[in-house]
Structure 1
């Protein structure tokens, strides 16, 4: 047993069951900033009101600032104490005015929480508990305040001063300084506070709301980046119109600003009226951003805007309710994105992401419900479970209730809890009250972890005219939850005739709420083939007795796009798992199904590109009792080669057709062709064609957009020829001054399937452009390598050692980012004994590191114990 002599070994655990309302509320707060990177002074004036009949002191959370003065009702006091960083003031009476003055150093804030420096600018990030690093305050989401903010700064250095709400005054001062004052009339928790000061320029626009109000929009960036913000600005306008149309939600302030910064732990932050974004989710032009980047920018802009209601106007009572805002808002942004292009492709992308990140989380030591029961460090619960599974839970509600009742429920929720801090139960009860549905059992989705498994078998006697589908569900045990109750599962079903390919039934929505159920289908005139969980109506793993022939049939004839995709993927997956397990499989069935899909002119090219891609190595591993990275890689490469070689003529024809499209356009059709072009190039390379590298390099050099250029580079980075080295050098030299594109250069190499990937990544850590201080760069190299199943899981354990070394170093700079990159090490139980021992040893080394943050300690210790 490890003897860990660190404070992290005995962390404080926060439990949902221990929630109590705030002792003091702060209905109004005024902040006065004297800004400088090296030393910023913050004067805070808090109107505090005692909550209820008690005599407990006022406790204001703090974190790392230097306290200069404290006064109560205008009189300086010194009868305060500091306890674990918090300022504790004994107070008589029920209302007071508290004034504090503190000093902080933004340029030394490597955690990027609170007020920090980025690219010469000053900005804030306060979710979840960053506001306490700016000033002393009851840093919890159920303390709602109106904010008035004044900023003073050197005008030449920081000509733009932004904060939440609307601007109310500004002016110049002696000595080259200036000031600006902002006021936010809406109650908000301190995690939504934001302020930015810097040399920024705006792409400005306007939006007229459905009630006729004009809102001034601004996207603030460095001067050189303004031309790359138009896509984000248009996405913002589209989002505002969509939320009015679909949810009836209108924006409420006179201005809406977005600021892009280079150093950011998250993708973006929904601060009221002043969103702060990671630059990667704002800046785009065809030369530097892929189609995926363009789509992601629109989705993230929408997500943060939608938070204005689902998160800001109605916020969380406590951090256990995080999915209340995040799950609901992810569902809203997914629906928005589906409306902007191919709904089928969007659904495929969402489910692929869920399976890549959330399913392993549910099956591992860090499994937790979407409403957790306890935490040591709240930043560790910004997870795929909270966000992605949370969105699936909302989607199930929408499916079960129907569009009209779901809208009535959301209207009731927004109207009833506007201006308050609500709970997940408040949301579910609103849906229940508006629709009349009984959601008692459905609430288990909020309290039970784990991914349900559904076994489906269909029985049909020829000539009987009847088929019976048997469904059985199990919910596997997870840490702390060994025994589970059956969940409510909305499963969409349909039958097709094996001979005629015609539907034998209308689509049914079966609500499986017991461990076992039987569903009868009448007038079944031929052998039925089951289409199940259509549209991925429930986030479950489905096991069926469908044959390879059935799956190939559905991949050609199912009328639900997701189910058609799913049948193809299941056919491929069964084949690959058999191959990796040393059993015999039939590649011909997969090849024939791929060929039929390629030849179907009715299918959208973007859909075809997704359908013919093989499942990832990690997803194949998730289906095996013991993950064998080498066998999985060999099986996948063999099938890729067979598909590429057998269908080489088709791939070349598709590639030539896609390559012949005109100049770059960002449209659904053009995106589909570019995606198909990259997939075809990948299969041509997999075929072993002698000219594959030449073809890829020609595409690389001729590309008029980043999608084609990176697609070619991704193919070349796995090759051995001189073209690979040349392309990497050209790419670097062309984009060495663009941090976001350089992240792609690091990431592409970290994901390479070459035998020397680990050595290459170790060299890249020493590259002059690599730094752990920037979260994007750390994720691009270390994070990407950790999900490269073959390279990371080298039998020597060198990959584990490399990642552990980087995370230990990163933890000293930015614990939050480091902790988020640790989960791949926590899956050690899924591997053979040799790899498991090596991975476990690295976790133990991390846990025993002196001075380890509580972020990392929680993740690593749970990974060892779970």
Structure 2
């Protein structure tokens, strides 16, 4: 890896491109080992470019066949080739055209960036910098052009040819056995949104009529034989299209919208204009092969990529530092969609769980960075939870502060000002400020300061004045490169609850507080509520109104009270999580004193949970979430230092057993009441009943008795859908037994020919928190169905172990660290993107107890001395830090 590729890039150094490309005519002749790409690009100098400024084009893994300027072939002395660049030293003054012919090798492209083959299908992945692996180009997001694309391939082996935009022409090339298709995209786009697909694909089709009456042709393309798994994706697409019209007034703008599912893909999906390319796990669904979680993910990601048509495609990013401009905003939009069509209040719980599990550790570790980074070495490493999930929370906070109506007006103003351009975060926030009339200057700190703000809240009651004073202190902790932080603008939703469980009106200075929304802008603020008749219990950070950590002076009995009486669904759930977290963390911290998780305090938790579990007015999905204890990673994050993952697992398992025994009758009643003989339906109510029944099963089997094992095995044998089947398998995998082996063998026998279902089989075993988990994943590496070259299979086995099995990965002898380092190094040799993602599992190593720290450090230092890609190098060196 050359040193130049490891140069740090800084936002402050941004400069507009010297040249612009207005039109692209691309002709791609597809062949496995030597695809030939001819491009004609119309170029003009950007405003302010000095005559004679060299034209520099990006290019990687290409063989240059010819180059012509204004139709005249250039001799070798007129241009120079250097690693990653083609330079024309003295281009003409004014506009000109370049004709470039290159060859690339799709079959050998194991990096899965640019043009590559996936199970015989040609496909592309150009975000962020993959187009330069197809042809020489100014490959940056602020260079937008219209594209006309001609594709040519063997008719028999590659009958389907797709690209961006609308179809223009197609036909046979007489006497050759080859055919062609021509596509034109009228909307200017950056090169990262280019896409082509060619293959032997089956498809399903439908239409959508827009609000203005235009008919859009919809198509989903998959490997032959998988057409029967596409219906849910098609339904999800149409729901997303209608929702975007109704919620934001955004209508689709082409005549066709196509989705292609491929089995080899580094990410989840890609929003290429009019031709979305998906990892097939996020398209294919059938009741016997996909769980309810899969159905939900498919619906969400289909919507996410479609929503990018406006928030990312019609308005794109000026530079990659602005990545949150499209990703954070679009994640927010897909969360709002899922909230409206499927999850309701539970969606906020799920998004908070995800944020706390993935982004909070990122903010607290060596890889911390602002939502809009100030610098990076490799942009692939900044497709992070901070950019996506925290970026979405920033959009949600803006909506909370200015209101839904003003937020929609701000979106409209943003498009009015920036349609067809490459924009910045400032463009987005200024549209919101102008639409609402609010000064959002301080809010911009959320984009530029890293770290999770911490707010401490205490409530004092004055019985004489009948007032309750809420004192709020905020601190933004130091992070790498940012030691000094300014106060944030934090929307803090609160409530006060009377002794009888009633909500108390909130009044400040004689005015009612709409929605209980306070705006915290200083390091210390006091809010004095009037006309409070008796000491209340405060409910803080309702609806998780900001991505912050909260500490309060609440006593255990007050937290129990909130578990039963809080009218805010999120905080009612959060109270149970807080109570359980405190018990487990105390037990794990105090030399594994199991008293807190097996004694009276644990019994009180069970007693407080029971009313909500029996309350059938609450949605089944909500009750299912209350049965899920904080994860091992949640507890480790709460402890923050000297973490012993074995102690956490033991304490958590003990609490699960205690609750299982204390709530045995309630759990049995729930399990029985949610049984059904109805045919599988992915609708929210049916999925909710399955979620509640499976959550009850999971907790019932925490005792580990033979009776529990037998119940789980019956659940597996009686399962009529993948949701129940994989849940039973997961439960059994945590309890070593002959029954577990029987179920695993049966599952494999049934599904060994289905790659996506087999991924679940690998993942279940990798996540099982058992003493032999390292040996298990080592053994599965040699399984004939395992391949390091398929990202889905790698994520299923190695990723599930490193990210989803804390006690196994963080084994006291360091075997888990050595395993991950060894496998990531192998993968880094051909797919740096996947390797770097896996290495993120080391991000919290400095919070571990000294013995584990030493083993993790040794593994990281070993990696740092190896020959690494830029992707892996940045993760390893930043994770090691000054250690």
TM range (shorter): over 0.9
Q: Shift of the alpha carbon at 1:575?
A: 1.1
Q: Does 1:601 align with 2:616?
A: yes
Query: Is the partner of 1:56 in helix, strand or coil?
Result: coil
In structure 2, C-alpha distance between the alignment counterparts of 1:503 and 1:38, rounded to whole Å: 71
Counterparts in 2 of 1:404 and 1:312: CA distance versus 1, 3 Å: same
Q: Shift of the alpha carbon at 1:627?
A: 1.3
Counterparts in 2 of 1:661 and 1:575: CA distance versus 1, 3 Å: farther
Query: Is the partner of 2:129 in helix, strand or coil?
Result: coil
Question: Matched residue pairs, number?
Answer: 860
Query: Is the partner of 2:351 in helix, strand or coil?
Result: helix
In structure 1, C-alpha distance between the alignment counterparts of 2:424 and 2:863, rounded to whole Å: 36
Query: Is the partner of 1:428 in helix, strand or coil?
Result: helix
| 1:428-483 residue CA offsets vs partner (Å, 9 max, x unmatched) | 01111111100111000110000000100000134541110000000000000011
For residues 150-229 of structure 1, the aligned pairs below 5 Å read: 150-173=150-173, 174-229=175-230
In structure 1, C-alpha distance between the alignment counterparts of 2:18 and 2:676, rounded to whole Å: 68
Query: Is the partner of 1:860 in helix, strand or coil?
Result: helix
| 1:255-291 residue CA offsets vs partner (Å, 9 max, x unmatched) | 0000000000110000000000000100001000000
Q: Does 1:65 align with 2:62?
A: yes
Q: Shift of the alpha carbon at 1:92?
A: 2.4
| 1:571-608 residue CA offsets vs partner (Å, 9 max, x unmatched) | 11111111111265321221112222212222111101
Q: Shift of the alpha carbon at 1:345?
A: 1.0
Query: Moved runs in structure 1, 4+ residues, more than 2 A?
Result: 6-10, 461-464, 498-507, 659-663, 687-690
In structure 2, C-alpha distance between the alignment counterparts of 1:455 and 1:786, rounded to whole Å: 33
| 1:731-780 residue CA offsets vs partner (Å, 9 max, x unmatched) | 11111111111110011101002211111111001111111111111111
**Alpha carbon RMSD of aligned pairs, Å?**
1.2
| 1:154-175 residue CA offsets vs partner (Å, 9 max, x unmatched) | 0001000000000100110122
Q: Shift of the alpha carbon at 1:342?
A: 2.6
Partner residue, 2:823:
806
- 1:534 alignment partner, one of 528, 538, 542: 542
Q: Shift of the alpha carbon at 1:544?
A: 0.4
Partner residue, 1:617:
632
Partner residue, 2:23:
28
Partner residue, 2:516:
508
2:734–2:768 contact (8 Å) kept in structure 1: yes
Q: Which piece of structure 1 moves more, 167-176 or 10-19?
A: 10-19
1:499–1:527 contact (8 Å) kept in structure 2: no
Counterparts in 2 of 1:137 and 1:306: CA distance versus 1, 3 Å: same
1:826–1:843 contact (8 Å) kept in structure 2: no
1:50–1:94 contact (8 Å) kept in structure 2: yes
Q: Does 1:770 align with 2:786?
A: yes
- 2:840 alignment partner, one of 800, 820, 823: 823
Q: Shift of the alpha carbon at 1:526?
A: 1.9
Q: Does 1:553 align with 2:561?
A: yes
For residues 381-460 of structure 1, the aligned pairs below 5 Å read: 381-460=382-461
In structure 2, C-alpha distance between the alignment counterparts of 1:660 and 1:296, rounded to whole Å: 24
In structure 2, C-alpha distance between the alignment counterparts of 1:8 and 1:536, rounded to whole Å: 44
| 1:1-51 residue CA offsets vs partner (Å, 9 max, x unmatched) | xxxxx6459821111111111111010011111101111000010100011
In structure 2, C-alpha distance between the alignment counterparts of 1:827 and 1:771, rounded to whole Å: 28
1:549–1:589 contact (8 Å) kept in structure 2: no
Partner residue, 2:797:
781
Partner residue, 2:526:
518
Q: Shift of the alpha carbon at 1:502?
A: 4.3
Query: Is the partner of 1:659 in helix, strand or coil?
Result: coil
Counterparts in 2 of 1:717 and 1:148: CA distance versus 1, 3 Å: same
Q: Shift of the alpha carbon at 1:626?
A: 2.1
In structure 1, C-alpha distance between the alignment counterparts of 2:266 and 2:696, rounded to whole Å: 35
In structure 2, C-alpha distance between the alignment counterparts of 1:481 and 1:676, rounded to whole Å: 44
Counterparts in 2 of 1:363 and 1:16: CA distance versus 1, 3 Å: same
Q: Does 1:717 align with 2:712?
A: no
Q: Does 1:77 align with 2:74?
A: yes
Counterparts in 2 of 1:33 and 1:461: CA distance versus 1, 3 Å: same
Partner residue, 1:3:
none
Query: Is the partner of 1:370 in helix, strand or coil?
Result: coil
| 1:327-373 residue CA offsets vs partner (Å, 9 max, x unmatched) | 00000000000001231111111110001100000000000001101
Q: Shift of the alpha carbon at 1:669?
A: 1.6
1:548–1:589 contact (8 Å) kept in structure 2: no
Q: Does 1:649 align with 2:665?
A: yes
Q: Shift of the alpha carbon at 1:612?
A: 2.1
| 1:542-571 residue CA offsets vs partner (Å, 9 max, x unmatched) | 000111111111111111111111111111
Give the unaligned 5+ runs of structure 2.
507-512
In structure 1, C-alpha distance between the alignment counterparts of 2:4 and 2:28, rounded to whole Å: 37
Q: Shift of the alpha carbon at 1:500?
A: 4.6
1:499–1:526 contact (8 Å) kept in structure 2: no
Q: Which piece of structure 1 moves more, 643-652 or 509-518?
A: 643-652
In structure 2, C-alpha distance between the alignment counterparts of 1:341 and 1:661, rounded to whole Å: 22
In structure 2, C-alpha distance between the alignment counterparts of 1:12 and 1:614, rounded to whole Å: 44
1:9–1:857 contact (8 Å) kept in structure 2: no
Q: Shift of the alpha carbon at 1:661?
A: 4.9
Partner residue, 2:87:
88
Q: Shift of the alpha carbon at 1:664?
A: 1.7
In structure 1, C-alpha distance between the alignment counterparts of 2:714 and 2:703, rounded to whole Å: 18
In structure 2, C-alpha distance between the alignment counterparts of 1:555 and 1:501, rounded to whole Å: 14
1:31–1:149 contact (8 Å) kept in structure 2: yes
Partner residue, 2:33:
38
Query: Is the partner of 2:689 in helix, strand or coil?
Result: helix
In structure 2, C-alpha distance between the alignment counterparts of 1:591 and 1:154, rounded to whole Å: 66
Query: Is the partner of 2:481 in helix, strand or coil?
Result: coil
For residues 475-514 of structure 1, the aligned pairs below 5 Å read: 475-505=476-506, 507-514=515-522
Give the unaligned 5+ runs of structure 1.
1-5
Normalising by the residue count of structure 1, what TM-score does the alignment of the two structures yield?
0.98
In structure 2, C-alpha distance between the alignment counterparts of 1:824 and 1:120, rounded to whole Å: 33
1:504–1:528 contact (8 Å) kept in structure 2: no
1:786–1:803 contact (8 Å) kept in structure 2: yes
1:644–1:687 contact (8 Å) kept in structure 2: yes
Partner residue, 2:585:
577
Q: Does 1:694 align with 2:726?
A: no
1:535–1:560 contact (8 Å) kept in structure 2: yes
In structure 2, C-alpha distance between the alignment counterparts of 1:127 and 1:349, rounded to whole Å: 28
